[in-house]
Amino acid sequence: MNQSHSLTLNDELDGDTLHEECGVFGVLGHPDGATLTALGLHALQHRGQEAAGIVTFDGRQFHTEKRMGLVGDHYTDPATLAKLPGFISIGHTRYSTTGEVALRNVQPLFAELEVGGIAVAHNGNFTNGLTLRRQLIADGAICQSTSDTEVVLHLIARSKQASSSDRFIDAIRQMEGGYSMLAMTRTKLIAARDPIGIRPLVMGELDGKPIFCSETCALDIIGAKYIRDVENGEVVICEIQPDGSISIDARKPEAPKPERLCLFEFVYFARPDSVVGGRSIYVARKNMGINLAKEAPVDADVVVPVPDGGTPAALGYAQKSGIPFEYGIIRNHYVGRTFIEPTQQIRAFGVKLKHSANRAMITGKRVVLVDDSIVRGTTSLKIVQMIRDAGAKEVHIRVASPMIYFPDFYGIDTPDADKLLANQYNSLKAMCDYIGADSLEFLSIDGLYRAVGGEDRDNENPQFTDHYFTGDYPTRLLDKESTSNVRKLAVMASNG
């Protein structure tokens, strides 16, 4: 990923967390399309905080607004929304895993094609995107961005199918990986999920108008009714008819495969108040804590979550163990983007810019710190030291997911394998010594499966996508396997 900006302090603090590429939202036939989309993206802000974009169509022309930064920084302005009239709207909030951080990569991407204008946005990652891009460029295509989404537009443009819907289906059948995608034309809103449903996508309804979004929390914020999940491998085509009615055509272009939702949606990414795959995220995370208490008990005085991700699991751990739950760490929600140079003096602040110890709950106590996951371990090291500095007698870390051994290629921005804590040390004790804790334990893969799906992992046919823990990648990794796909895309630096 080519990035022309220098490292900021916030980049350094975020280096030990996982990021997902984006969230998507779309609505058809509603006069307040842009406003609803902005609200939906606001609810999905946790899925991507670098940039946001909205495209609308008003019956005569398309309108688009793309901005770097948070949704609330721009799309709460009535003047901005006034530039987005229309009854069809799709929006996207982004964290980049492919392509540089630049306005030209902000989705939705729009193109004027033979079949008319079309805008596309997706959540996830194509594992053959670079391979297809290289083939398209060799055939004469001109790419204006470094986003995988542009490949889809080129494939739609080159399709020999007659209708925009059939061209869209023809295009996505050539894509591999994990994705949820929205597309809009002058009359249609199209939603699609990858064949095994790695990334989530739900369908809702407001005032009789169809809505699609990454998570149910985006339906809740606008008072929309949840209808159902878009099924894995399904394409749902909603179209406004001449009489104003809306037709809905659900298709399965390929033979059905078992769904394998990404387990990290349950561990980390989805909002606690969302329902993913028919399962409450909050309940799943609390179950992770309950199972963790069964698998890794410890004598202690207080259970403390690493906020915010560890809170539901910590509640479950406390409930099962009988150890009192307390907010021993207070999170500062107002750090935002900072441009302070990361000098040694500033680095000494470490994690304290985002978290501070609640000494009254820590001093003199044996503390169980419950976190949702550990990536590189650098943040855990700083938090353990912070808890010790606050007077803790003992610090025991309990992690509500298994060790992460493998990188992701389906839309999660993970470090290289050799940067992951689990691969840097050959024993749990060595990892514990590095972090500085008195003990360290992770939830087992079966414990995680039971928390989310109610039963152990089926090793022959896994129920979820879990390669970051197991190395069992559910699709081909064509781009990774091809030595000709060394990324040489962003040759032009962008200031916007």
What is the per-residue pLDDT for 331? 86
Name the catalytic one among 22, 213, 217, 238.
22
Q: pLDDT (tens digit, 9 = 90+) per residue, 351-362? A: 667 889 999 999
Is 22 labeled as catalytic in the residue annotation?
yes
Of 257, 276, 278, the closest CA to residue 176 belongs to 257
382: pLDDT strictly greater than 90: yes
Please write the tens of the pLDDT for every residue from 273-314.
Answer: 999 999 999 999 999 999 999 999 999 999 999 998 999 999
Q: b or e along 103-139 (b: 16 or more beta carbons within 10 Å of the residue's beta carbon)?
A: ebbbbbbbbebebebbbbbbbbbbbbbbbbbbebeee
C-alpha–C-alpha distance, residues 163 and 83, integer Å: 29
Closest CA to 30 of 216, 202, 244: 244
Report the percent of the chain where pLDDT is more than 90: 78
Cis peptide before 305 (omega within 30 of 0): no
By C-alpha distance, which of 199, 220, 222, 232 is closest to 272? 220
| Cross-strand bridge partners of residue 394 | 366
* Band of pLDDT at residue 147, cut at 50, 70 and 90: confident
Q: Looking at residue 322, what is its pLDDT? A: 98
Closest CA to 109 of 140, 143, 77: 143
Q: State mean pLDDT over 187-214.
A: 97
Q: What is the pLDDT of residues 384-406, one digit of tens each?
A: 999 999 999 999 999 999 999 99
Neighbours of 481 (CB within 10 A): 11
- Please name which of 434, 420, 469 lies closest in space to residue 448, comparing C-alpha atoms: 469
Closest CA to 390 of 348, 355, 430: 355
Closest CA to 446 of 275, 267, 278, 288: 288
Query: Which residue pairs from 266-270 have beta carbons closer than 8 angstroms and sit at least 24 positions apart in sequence?
Result: 266/451, 266/452, 267/372, 267/373, 267/400, 267/401, 267/448, 268/18, 268/309, 268/372, 268/373, 268/401, 269/18, 269/20, 269/46, 269/47, 269/412, 270/200, 270/215
What percent of the chain lies above the pLDDT cut of 70?
Answer: 88
**The predicted structure's pLDDT at residue 180:** 96
Task: Tell me how far apart the alpha carbons of residues 75 and 70 are, in angstroms, rounded to a whole number.
Answer: 9
Per-residue pLDDT at 339 exceeds 60 = no
* Per-residue pLDDT tens digits for 457-466: 999 999 999 9
Q: What DSSP designation does 140 have?
A: T
Note the pLDDT of residue 104: 80
Confidence of residue 418 (pLDDT cuts 50, 70, 90): very high
Give the DSSP letter of residue 325. B
pTM above 0.95, yes or no: no
Taking a C-beta distance cutoff of 8 angstroms, is the pair 78, 67 a contact? no
d(Cα 96, Cα 40) in Å, to the nearest integer?
A: 20
Residue that wins the pLDDT comparison between 392 and 253:
392
**Average of pLDDT values for 5-25?**
56
Tell me the average pLDDT of the chain. 89
Q: Name residue, tokens 């793309």.
A: 66
pLDDT in tens, 46-95: 998 889 999 999 999 999 999 999 999 999 999 999 999 999 999 999 87
pLDDT at 6: 31
Query: What's the pLDDT score for residue 254?
Result: 83
Can you tell me the mean pLDDT for 124-134?
92
- Between the two ends of the chain, the Cα-to-Cα distance in Å is 16
